[in-house]
Amino acid sequence: MISTRIRNRRKRHPRRGVVAVEFAFAATVLFLVIAISIEFSRMNMLRHSVDNAAYEAARAGIILRANVDDVKQTANEIMNSVRARGTVVEVTPDTIQDDTPEIVVTVSVPADQNGFVTPRFFAGRSFVGQCRLTRDDI
């Protein structure tokens, strides 16, 4: 009976801390993947927001008695809703009159100033959205 007890006991190996070391390696990779995913999601959101802001601003510019300030305000409101920094809005023509045939709105945002985690992946790049709408009431 004594011999069966000894045989059933587990042999202890000096492997203390192995799980902690494995977790440290795995957690580092996991957190890096999560950070990169957040960064790419933010840039994707900015890319689509720039296009949407240009379109909505151009729509605001094709109505009667619209002016350039209304167009820029519309684009900036949309870009502020996603907390974009460094937004530049350009409107062509410089003055909108009731007989202006078309409006061109260009919205650009630098990626360097808008990263959540690190701007390394998109350094030196910017997102540009442009929309050209014609007025059919002329």
Domain locations in the chain? 17-134
Structure tokens at 67: 């002016």
**The two structure tokens encoding residue 99:** 């007989």
Answer yes or no: is pLDDT of 7 > 70. no
Taking residues 92-98, report their average pLDDT.
88
Looking at the predicted structure, is the pLDDT value of residue 105 above 80? yes
Which pLDDT band holds residue 4 (cuts at 50, 70, 90)?
A: low
- pLDDT greater at residue 45 or residue 115: 45
Distances (CA, A) of 137 to 47, 59, 99, 101, 102: 31, 13, 9, 9, 11
Fold of the domain built from segment(s) 17-134: Pantoate--beta-alanine Ligase; Chain: A,domain 2 (3.30.1300)
pLDDT in tens, 20-50: 889 999 999 999 999 888 888 989 999 999 9
**pTM summary value:** 0.77
Q: Is the pLDDT of residue 123 over 90?
A: no
Res. 58: pLDDT tops 70: yes
